[in-house]
Amino acid sequence: MLPYPHFQVNHKVYPGTVGTDGLALAETIERIGEETDASFVVTPQVPDLRLIASETDLPVFAPAVDPVSPGRGMGTLLPEALAEAGAAGAVINHAENRDTVADIETKIGRCRKVGLDAIVCVDSVETGRAVAALEPDQLLFERPEDISTDRAITRTHPERIDRFLDMRDDVAPDTRVRVGGGISTAEDVRRAFELGADATGAASAIATVDDQERLLREIGEVVESVK
């Protein structure tokens, strides 16, 4: 079971997050988590899943999964293979890798069958309501226009988070909510938890910052303070 609250670091395809560099980043995240008593989760590129899962004790998410079963499907990501590689969960319907509603439902079911947490990305209360009815393990609420910016929704539109959490409480109270898109500072992280989010995370803010360890430590201290 994933630890909550937590901060998720997404590698995406940023420089310095591939192979041994990606492992080094994950090891830094793990060390800072241990030193601050905070929970971190990482989402590396698919070829690095097994490496990071085997060399660290961090929960590792797959950045994608496909709605396929064992058999034909060249080039697709089989849920069983991700689980066997050490993934704890898989991201579905990210703004940079959209899914159809039918595929979202199939992916949630396939993840559930093999023991992967299903993390479904949505960009509105309305879409979130439809997906919440499928009872994924986690909903990631973020506006696509905020991704890779410093315009965290926790600062620009906190009322949208309030509405989203009210919807979650009404439709799927056991589904966790992570807030993303533009999360750049420890203060952004603090605001996300104060608003009621169960988790938050970032990609570009970590991958491109000059002093990763300083920022991760500041974030870790915030995450530990809300446990």
Domain extents for the chain?
6-67+75-180+192-225
Mean pLDDT in residue range 17-33: 97
Residue 151: pLDDT band (50, 70, 90) is confident
pTM over 0.85: yes
Catalytic residue list contains 94:
yes
3-state per-residue secondary structure call for the chain: CCCCCEEEEECCCCCCCCHHHHHHHHHHHHHHHHHHCCCEEEECCHHHHHHHHHHCCCCEEECCCCCCCCCCCCCCCCHHHHHHCCCCEEEECECCECCCHHHHHHHHHHHHHHCCEEEEEECCHHHHHHHHCCCCCEEEECCHHHCCCCCCHHHHCHHHHHHHHHHHHHHCCCCEEEECCCCCCHHHHHHHHHCCCCEEEECHHHHCCCCHHHHHHHHHHHHHHCC
Catalytic position from the list 142, 145, 157, 159:
142
Share of the chain above pLDDT 90, in %: 88
For the segment 196-220, what is each residue's pLDDT rounded down to a tens digit?
A: 999 999 999 999 999 999 999 999 9
Span 6-67+75-180+192-225 CATH architecture: Alpha-Beta Barrel (3.20)
- The single residue of 11, 94, 135, 159 carrying the catalytic annotation is 94
| Tokens at 113, concatenated | 């069958």
pLDDT at 65: 98
Residue 142 annotated in active site: yes
